[in-house]
């Protein structure tokens, strides 16, 4: 299955929400799979000082109450929440921004897919970053509340998209 990505941004907070549908990442446990996705994310972002702060394997109904699997789904999706921090440049810039990262991993073993929901929330933007022109301040309501809202509302509308 080809990988797919959607990105949504907020110009004032410079936050971005990314939803990716990926082929299954290698790993024997959900924690190993999440670490593999984190490593890819930090590498692609050319991040420095990237650090995972917390990892929590969660109950599907608690994390994704709106996710209704088709009746033919015999293997329940697994979910994991990861919170981390990185210093990373925006696009191809060199200036580093301080970014909190929140990731939800949904492992759909039966569909041979991992879904990632990622919230990038800058806590400080370098004056040399292109974001410094529009960045007003970190999200005053807290990125964790936004992340929980995005994740809890996630739904798969068409399961026929998966193999």
Decide: helix, strand or coil at residue 131: helix
In this predicted structure, the answer to whether residue 91 has a pLDDT above a threshold of 60 is yes
pLDDT exceeds cutoff 70 at 51 = yes
pLDDT, mean of residues 18-47: 93
What pLDDT does residue 124 have?
86
Question: Could you give the number of structural domains in the chain?
Answer: 1
Which is it for the CA torsion 117, 140, 55, 51, positive or negative? positive
Report yes or no on 103 lying in a domain: yes
Alpha carbon separation from 92 to 58, 84, 113, 116, 147 (Å, rounded): 35, 22, 29, 23, 26
Classify burial at 47, counting beta carbons within 10 Å of its beta carbon; exposed 0-12, middle 13-18, buried 19 or more.
Answer: buried
> Where residue 24 sits, what CATH number does that domain have?
3.40.1000
Query: Is 160 inside any structural domain?
Result: no
User: Does residue 86 form part of some domain?
Assistant: yes
Do the domain assignments include residue 82?
A: yes
Dmax over Cα atoms in the chain, in whole Å? 52
Count of helix runs (H) and strand runs (E) in the chain: 3, 6
Domain ranges, residue 102? 4-154
């Amino acid at each position: 299955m080809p990988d797919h990505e959607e990105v949504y941004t907020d110009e004032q907070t410079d936050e971005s929400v990314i939803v990716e549908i990926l082929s299954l990442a290698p790993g024997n446990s959900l924690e190993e799979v999440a670490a593999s996705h984190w490593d890819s994310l930090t590498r692609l972002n050319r991040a420095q000082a990237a650090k995972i702060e917390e990892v929590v394997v969660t109950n599907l109904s608690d994390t994704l109450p709106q996710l209704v699997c088709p009746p033919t789904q015999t293997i329940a999706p697994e979910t994991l929440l990861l919170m981390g921090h990185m210093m990373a440049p925006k696009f191809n810039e060199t200036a580093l921004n301080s970014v909190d990262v929140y990731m939800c991993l949904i492992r759909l073993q039966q569909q041979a897919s991992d879904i990632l929901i990622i919230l990038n929330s800058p806590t400080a933007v370098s004056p040399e970053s292109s974001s410094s022109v529009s960045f007003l301040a970190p999200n005053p309501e807290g990125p964790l509340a936004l992340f929980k809202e995005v994740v809890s509302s996630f739904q798969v509308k068409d399961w026929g998209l998966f193999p």
